[in-house]
Structure 1
Amino acid sequence: MAYISRTALRRLSTAGDCNCAYLGSLAFRPINSRSFQTSSIRRTDGVFKELTAQRVKTPWIEALRKQQAEAKSSTATSDKPSVPKDRQLTPKHMNDSYHSVVLPLARDTWLLDTYLNSSGHIRLGTIFMDLDALSGIIAYKHTGDDVTTVTASCDRIVINHPLSEICDLELSGRVTYATGRSSMEISMQVAKAPKDGEKIAETDVLIHCTFTMVSLDPSTNKPVNVNPLIAESPEEQRVYKLGERNSAIRKQLKETALVKHTPNDLESDLIHAFWQKQLQYHDPYDEQRKPDNVQFMDTTRLQTATIMQPQNRNRHHFMIFGGFLLKQTFELAFTTAAAFAHARPTFVSLDPSTFQNPVPVGSILYLTATVVYTDPPLIGAPGEKFDPDSEYTRVQVRVDSKVRDVEHGRSKPTGQFNYTFNVPKNIRVVPRTYQEYMMYLDARRRAEQVKDTIQEEGVGLSPKTAEESVTE
């Protein structure tokens, strides 16, 4: 049967009885026409709809008009009340904040379409967006809606076991560390979705990660206390102690940061050794020249600039949510590692990374990615053992972010993100300025810390095994 557009039908139906015979004959007369379909509404870029519904509840135009009206009226009251003084902070159980979501990637090919790259691998950057959105849901189940909760840091994301095929994925997590102050640690995992009545096997866990969230007063943006956590079972006590350890590590790294202190003796020796190596490369009377597999750090740098749109806002409307930054920084880091090695990188871990300042909607986000460390290194510390002829190289990429307003007046840093990849190539990076030496040493410290943590917890994959995964 032929189709007729709604507009044509409306015109014909209002033309009077004279067209009745014509309308009756349409069923027997071939008509060239188009049928139109509409796609489902997507409020954000790539975030799974069940997580989006929890995050963005008011259309952007309504939030914007309300803000503009409040700005014009000096008597208008803000929709950001202060935290109630009588707010109850009774201790909560870990399971009180538990939340899980299943991504039906194997069952919904159109959903899968938003998670795949050009080679048919699952884009980990999009999974990271979902994890950040999930961490927000978990945090608010613990704190309630009276506070503003933001992502302070992503402490670690590690691939535990590879995915051998596209399957449904279950994202789950809960608050695992909270002392009653403003911050809380949220532990999450991504695993193959189990069948009804079955539990997730350890070998089915793809990713384990921890995020640190901080609660603020909506009116003043100052930190506020949250409910302390009760750890009862042996397993809960174990993960709670891990949270204590992670908190201690963050404090230690902050106190010993190179911004505050000069390099130690071993690190100073490394700087001197790199400087001597560069002299050899440039000495016309020395036969040693820079090998083809060695690149200077400044030649590895890639940069992007992007305007921040409201489709990627958080639940408070006027700031970009952290998951979008994770996705953007991951994909730039991936590209930087690929350009450095001229080979396809395999993700190893997101090492401890910080969100320093919020990113406003409408601002310009600048990202700068640099290869800051390679393992095995070109020059090792005294007594350090490594294989200089290793088939694989572990590449650490640092992504620094900053924002400017559209007029490019004010500028502020917004975060530092540290990604590690394996590449099937023997390649090394060399710093040659003092700033690059500091970046190299900072990355070296981080790599040693993460290596110890991974060995202690028994996670991580061999480079060969990681290459067989269907993830990016």
Structure 2
Amino acid sequence: MASSLRTVLRRLNATSRSNCSQTVPVLSSINRGFRSSRRRQTDGVFRELTAVRVRTPWVEALRRQRAEGLDHAKASRKPEVSPNRELTPKRMSDSYHSVILPLAQDPWLLDTYLNSSGHIRLGTIFMDLDALSGVIAYKHTGDDVTTVTASCDRIYLRHPLTEICDLELSGEVTYATGRSSLEVSMQVAKAPKAGETVKNEDVLISCTFTMVSLDPGTKKPVNVNPLIVETPEEKRLYALGERNSKIRRERNQTALIKHTPNDLESDLIHAFWQKHLQYHDPHDSLRKPENVHFMDTTRLQTAMIMQPQFRNRHHFMIFGGFLLKQTFELAFTCTAAFAHTRPTFVSLDPSTFQNPVPVGSILYLTATVVYTDPPLIGAPGDRADTESKYTRVQVRVDSKVRDVEHGRSKPTGQFNYTFTVEKNIRVMPRTYQEFMMYLDARRRAEQVKESMKEEGLGVSPKLAEESVTE
């Protein structure tokens, strides 16, 4: 019995060795070795823009910082820009830059831009726009200064995109007086065919960013090249930049943090207070309608660690486009939770970047629905279709950054997004702080409506719903 068992085992081993020898060539033909492939994307920003933004691997920048013992978050107090440097006036065309985003040609690149419903993620496009604004600004200022995003004056939807196609991102410096700030105007449009130019109806998004140039050592503002304005179109764009600059100054001078509300706004606060009393008066039959929601119930918050993959070209700070993407997606989520329907993007209204966000810190974002149009209570003389099935919803996203080691925090920016929802819904403040947020949002809404009216802009809610962007 033992002899026969050993014979069977020998036959099985022999068969196994035979089978293994036959399958080795087959397996080797199936297994894929390591190989280099074309880099399609890094952190959501198109590679042609990322290549300019990030020039040194993080590990090298970190080693250099440790070897030099420098804290790049603080000023060295040693000026690196000569006060006597030549600032030759430049033309708008000198800073012009365009990039084709081949979404229709490259399905793997498109894969990084789509959401679960097959729509193009606007937050990722915003990252590209901020990266492009940096490219344009440095073409105007040169590399010897540090140029940062100070504010996003607006991003608005001009025409809905009805199909997935290649996109052209382009822009140039359109306003610069020779002081430290400059305005960059950009647009996103359907990529034109060879030899053709972009048509007005093919422009998806227009936007303007304000950039500020700083001395790399002192972190103080430095002057940059002024603009030469020649053609009628250049004069029109320059005049828009002057108007935007004037609006920013007026907004700062009349900010509610510095001044009390005006008479009309005080009347609105009083009217809201009276309405709130009515809702809770046991002797009054009026109760809060189901479509009215208190502001504090709309709040959403997130927190995240800032990783080096989202750094700017100076390595130790997060680049503004990442903040735009995160704040947009939180605002979108806040609006959806508020209305229980899918929002349609209208605009990013004037928003500010207050302080830089260091790599390694913790970023806290808080989104709140602060205004609805039509409002629950309108000002005297206001004309609004209170029965409209569409409501414009303004969401304010406040950001602050906290130092991990010491727990210190500071505000880093305020971002104001407007969406349209197919729902009759209203927001209602009930504390003094919420009233100030409501009035600030109302002012922004009035300013944006006025400027869009002047420029003949605006997309109907029904038409905007057909866009393949989200």
Does TM, scored on the shorter chain, surpass 0.5? yes
Q: Distance in 2 between matches of 1:443 and 1:237?
A: 31
Partner of 2:32: 35
1:379 to 1:408, Cα distance in 2 relative to 1, 3 A: farther
The equivalent position to 1:143 in structure 2, one of 137, 141, 144, is: 141
Question: What is the Cα deviation at residue 30 of structure 1?
Answer: 3.6
Q: Distance in 1 between matches of 2:403 and 2:239?
A: 42
The equivalent position to 2:435 in structure 1, one of 437, 443, 460, is: 437
Partner of 2:237: 239
The equivalent position to 1:351 in structure 2, one of 341, 349, 371, is: 349
Partner of 1:53: 51
Partners of 2:361 and 2:401 within 8 A in 1: yes
Partners of 1:158 and 1:459 within 8 A in 2: no
Taking structure 1 as the reference length, what is the TM-score of the superposition?
0.92
Partner of 1:334: 332
The equivalent position to 2:396 in structure 1, one of 387, 395, 398, is: 398
Question: What is the Cα deviation at residue 29 of structure 1?
Answer: 4.8
Q: Distance in 2 between matches of 1:227 and 1:395?
A: 40
How do 1:93-108 and structure 2 match up within 5 A? 93-108=91-106
The equivalent position to 1:211 in structure 2, one of 209, 212, 220, is: 209
Partner of 2:200: 202
SS at match of 2:246: helix
Partners of 1:84 and 1:146 within 8 A in 2: no
Partner of 2:468: 470
Question: What is the Cα deviation at residue 383 of structure 1?
Answer: 1.4
The share of aligned pairs that are identical, in percent, is: 79
1:219 to 1:35, Cα distance in 2 relative to 1, 3 A: same
- What is the RMSD computed on CA atoms of the aligned residues? 1.9
Question: What is the Cα deviation at residue 34 of structure 1?
Answer: 2.7
SS at match of 2:144: coil
The equivalent position to 2:122 in structure 1, one of 106, 121, 124, is: 124
Gap runs ≥5 in structure 2 = 1-17
Partner of 1:159: 157
Q: Distance in 2 between matches of 1:470 and 1:358?
A: 33
Question: What is the Cα deviation at residue 31 of structure 1?
Answer: 3.5
Gap runs ≥5 in structure 1 = 1-21
Partner of 1:263: 261
Q: Distance in 1 between matches of 2:324 and 2:365?
A: 11
Partner of 1:378: 376
1:436 to 1:52, Cα distance in 2 relative to 1, 3 A: same
Q: Does 1:446 align with 2:441?
A: no
How do 1:287-306 and structure 2 match up within 5 A? 287-306=285-304
Partner of 2:219: 221
SS at match of 2:151: strand
1:72 to 1:412, Cα distance in 2 relative to 1, 3 A: closer
Taking structure 2 as the reference length, what is the TM-score of the superposition?
0.92
Q: Distance in 2 between matches of 1:96 and 1:404?
A: 40
Aligned length: 445
Q: Distance in 2 between matches of 1:69 and 1:43?
A: 31
Partners of 2:39 and 2:47 within 8 A in 1: no
Q: Deviations over 1:429-448 (max 9, x none)?
A: 00000000000000000000
Question: What is the Cα deviation at residue 310 of structure 1?
Answer: 0.3
Partner of 1:67: 65
Question: What is the Cα deviation at residue 382 of structure 1?
Answer: 1.1
Partners of 1:310 and 1:320 within 8 A in 2: yes
Partners of 1:44 and 1:312 within 8 A in 2: no
Q: Deviations over 1:172-195 (max 9, x none)?
A: 000000000000000000000000
